[in-house]
């Protein structure tokens, strides 16, 4: 979000506040994903998962509270943007968080376990559970800058960045270790998760990720030096465990 904001000269403090709302959504999704009825993960960022440390009931309530806190932040008077833009942002973030976004993607993730899933369905799942939140991060600065004709372009760029992030996450799960990653690895294979790694293999998934990164960077070429930070972020996303 900050990197796209630089391209359109959007106020940094405004983006930080909106970014906080995104982080609330992200944290809620992780807390719920870790629950025994979902992915049943006991470690997150090098520490015990919320439900392990505080109990399942507290984890569910914490996740629910973070979800609503996100929209509390966006609707706050301290967020110094006009009401119409606030409404647009709230609508977009709602779409990215619910059945057409994170929640819908998580449903597919659970439903696809131990099944042979084609590549287009895996990508659809990844775009929902990860891509949609990244797309919001990329279009929020565009909406604030009132560059409406570019919303669709940056929505697509954001979705592709989210897909890139998910690819990197799956690669890390395949080859990473608990100490470095901060969560248990090699769980996707054990649980029979549908991932590009399970379908294409590790090397081919790396190639796929590299091609996707190049495709995104090509779309950013017209923005010159203003997109330098975003290009560096793309490289960090894909190679962050190396």
- Our count of domains for the chain comes to 1
Q: Where are the alpha helices (DSSP H) in 83-201?
A: 83-97, 102-111, 119-126, 132-144, 151-175, 178-181, 187-191, 196-200
pLDDT for res 240: 74
Q: What angle do CA 181, 160, 166 make, to 5 degrees?
A: 25
Calpha distance 181→177 (Å, rounded) = 6
Strand partners for 43: 48
What pLDDT, on a 0 to 100 scale, did the predictor assign at position 186? 78
Q: Among residues 39, 171, 63, 168, which one has the least CA distance to residue 113?
A: 39
| CATH number for the domain that contains residue 47 | 1.10.600.10
pTM attached to this predicted model:
0.92
Q: Is 91 exposed, middle or buried (0-12, 13-18, 19+ CB in 10 A)?
A: exposed
As a whole number of angstroms, the distance between CA 194 and CA 168 comes to 15
Domain that holds residue 223: 2-239
pLDDT score, position 180 = 65
For every one of its 242 residues, what pLDDT tens digit does the chain have, with 9 covering 90 and above?
Answer: 999 999 999 999 999 999 999 999 999 999 999 999 999 999 998 899 999 999 999 999 999 999 999 999 999 999 999 999 999 999 999 999 999 999 999 999 999 999 999 999 999 999 999 999 999 999 999 999 999 999 999 999 999 999 999 999 999 988 876 666 666 777 888 889 999 999 999 999 999 999 999 999 999 999 999 999 999 999 999 887 65
Phi (first) and psi of residue 201, to 5 degrees: 90, 160
CA distances from 196 to 18, 116, 207 (A): 31, 11, 11
97: exposed, middle or buried (C-beta count within 10 Å: 0-12, 13-18, 19+)?
A: buried
């Amino acid at each position: 979000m900050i990197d796209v904001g630089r391209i359109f000269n959007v106020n940094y403090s405004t983006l930080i506040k909106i970014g906080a709302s995104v982080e609330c959504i992200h944290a809620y999704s992780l807390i719920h994903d870790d629950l025994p009825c979902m992915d049943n993960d006991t470690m997150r960022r090098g520490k015990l998962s919320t439900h392990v440390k505080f109990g399942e009931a507290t984890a569910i309530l914490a996740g629910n509270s973070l979800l609503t806190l996100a929209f509390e932040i966006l609707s706050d008077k301290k967020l110094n943007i006009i009401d119409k833009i606030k409404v647009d942002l709230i609508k977009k973030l709602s779409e990215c968080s619910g059945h057409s976004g994170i929640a819908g993607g998580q449903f597919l993730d659970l439903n696809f376990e131990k099944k042979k899933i084609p590549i287009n369905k895996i990508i659809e799942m990844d775009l929902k559970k990860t891509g949609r939140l990244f797309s919001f991060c990329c279009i929020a600065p565009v909406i604030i800058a009132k560059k409406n004709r570019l919303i669709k372009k940056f929505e697509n760029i954001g979705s592709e960045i989210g897909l890139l992030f998910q690819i990197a996450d799956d690669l890390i799960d395949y080859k990473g270790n608990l100490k470095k990653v901060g969560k248990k690895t090699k769980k996707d294979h054990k649980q029979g998760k549908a991932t590009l790694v399970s379908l294409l293999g590790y090397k081919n998934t790396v190639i796929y990720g590299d091609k996707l990164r190049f495709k995104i960077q090509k779309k950013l070429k017209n923005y010159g030096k203003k997109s330098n930070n975003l290009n560096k972020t793309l490289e960090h996303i894909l190679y962050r465990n190396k």
